[in-house]
Amino acid sequence: MALDNHLLRDLPPAEKKLWDEKVKQIASQHSLRQVFHIEAPIGFLGDPNGFSFFQGSWYLFHQWIPRKTQNKMVYWRGLRSKDLVHWESLPATIDPDTKYDSHGAYSGSAWVNQGQLEIFYTGNVRNQENEREAYQMRATLAGKVIKKAAVPAIMQPPAGYTMNFRDPKVWQQAGKTYAIIGTQTKSGAGRAIIYEASTDLKAWHLKEVLQPFDHDIGYMWECPNFFELDGSQVLIFCPQGADSKDLEYKTLFPNAFVIGPKWSGDGSEWKLKQPKLALVDEGFECYASQIVQAEGRTIIVSWMGPSKTPLPTDKLGWSNCLSLPRELSIKDGELYQKPVRELTSLFGAAHVIDIEHSPSFKATTASHFQVTFKGTGQVQWNVRAQANNPGLVIKVDLRKHALEVDRQAVFPPVEGAKTERDTQRKLQYSSDDKALELEVWLDHTSFEIFVNQGRSVLSGRLFTTETAQSCNFKINGNVTVTGEWHEIVK
> Which amino acid is it at 126?
R
Strand ranges of the sheet holding 347-352, from the earlier edge strand across to the other edge = 347-352, 479-488, 367-375, 436-443, 446-451, 456-461
Any contact of residue 442 with ligand FRU (CB under 6 A)? no
CA distances from 326 to 85, 281, 319 (A): 11, 11, 22
Any contact of residue 281 with ligand FRU (CB under 6 A)? no
Comparison of 302 and 367: residue with beta carbon closer to ligand FRU: 302
Any contact of residue 122 with ligand FRU (CB under 6 A)? yes
Distance CA 77, CA 18 (A): 20
Any contact of residue 94 with ligand FRU (CB under 6 A)? no
Residue 101 annotated in active site = no
Distance CA 239, CA 278 (A): 11
247-251: list long-range contacts, CB under 8 Å, 24+ apart.
Answer: 247/217, 247/277, 247/278, 247/279, 249/279, 250/284, 250/422, 250/425, 251/284, 251/285, 251/286, 251/287, 251/306, 251/308, 251/422
Which residue of the set 47, 167, 281, 422 is catalytic? 47
Q: What is the size of the binding site for ligand FRU (CB under 6 A)?
A: 13
Site string for ligand FRU, 200-239 (x = CB under 6 A): ----------------------xx----------------
Any contact of residue 106 with ligand FRU (CB under 6 A)? yes
Among 34, 36, 43, 47, binds ligand FRU (CB under 6 A): 47
Parallel, antiparallel, or unpaired: how do β-strands 57-65 and 75-81 relate? Answer: antiparallel
Q: What is the DSSP string of 121-135?
A: EEEEEE-TTS-EEEE
Secondary structure letter of residue 53 according to DSSP: E
Any contact of residue 119 with ligand FRU (CB under 6 A)? no
Question: Torsion angle of alpha carbons 268, 269, 273, 277, nearest 10°?
Answer: 130
Comparison of 124 and 298: residue with beta carbon closer to ligand FRU: 124
Any contact of residue 290 with ligand FRU (CB under 6 A)? no
The partner residues of 122 in beta bridges, in order of sequence, read 136
Comparison of 301 and 398: residue with beta carbon closer to ligand FRU: 301
Any contact of residue 167 with ligand FRU (CB under 6 A)? yes
| Least distance between ligand FRU and beta carbon 243 (Å) | 20
Comparison of 192 and 403: residue with beta carbon closer to ligand FRU: 192
Among 107, 211, 452, 456, binds ligand FRU (CB under 6 A): 107
Q: Can you say how many angstroms the Cα of residue 170 is from the centroid of all Cα atoms in its chain?
A: 17
Among 74, 79, 234, 280, binds ligand FRU (CB under 6 A): 74
Any contact of residue 323 with ligand FRU (CB under 6 A)? no
Comparison of 48 and 391: residue with beta carbon closer to ligand FRU: 48
| Least distance between ligand FRU and beta carbon 122 (Å) | 6
Comparison of 120 and 450: residue with beta carbon closer to ligand FRU: 120
As to burial, measured by CB atoms within 10 angstroms (0-12 exposed, 13-18 middle, 19+ buried), residue 392 is: buried
What residues are annotated to the active site? 47
Q: What residues make contact with ligand FRU under the rule CB under 6 A?
A: 46-47, 63, 74, 106-107, 122, 166-167, 222-223, 287-288
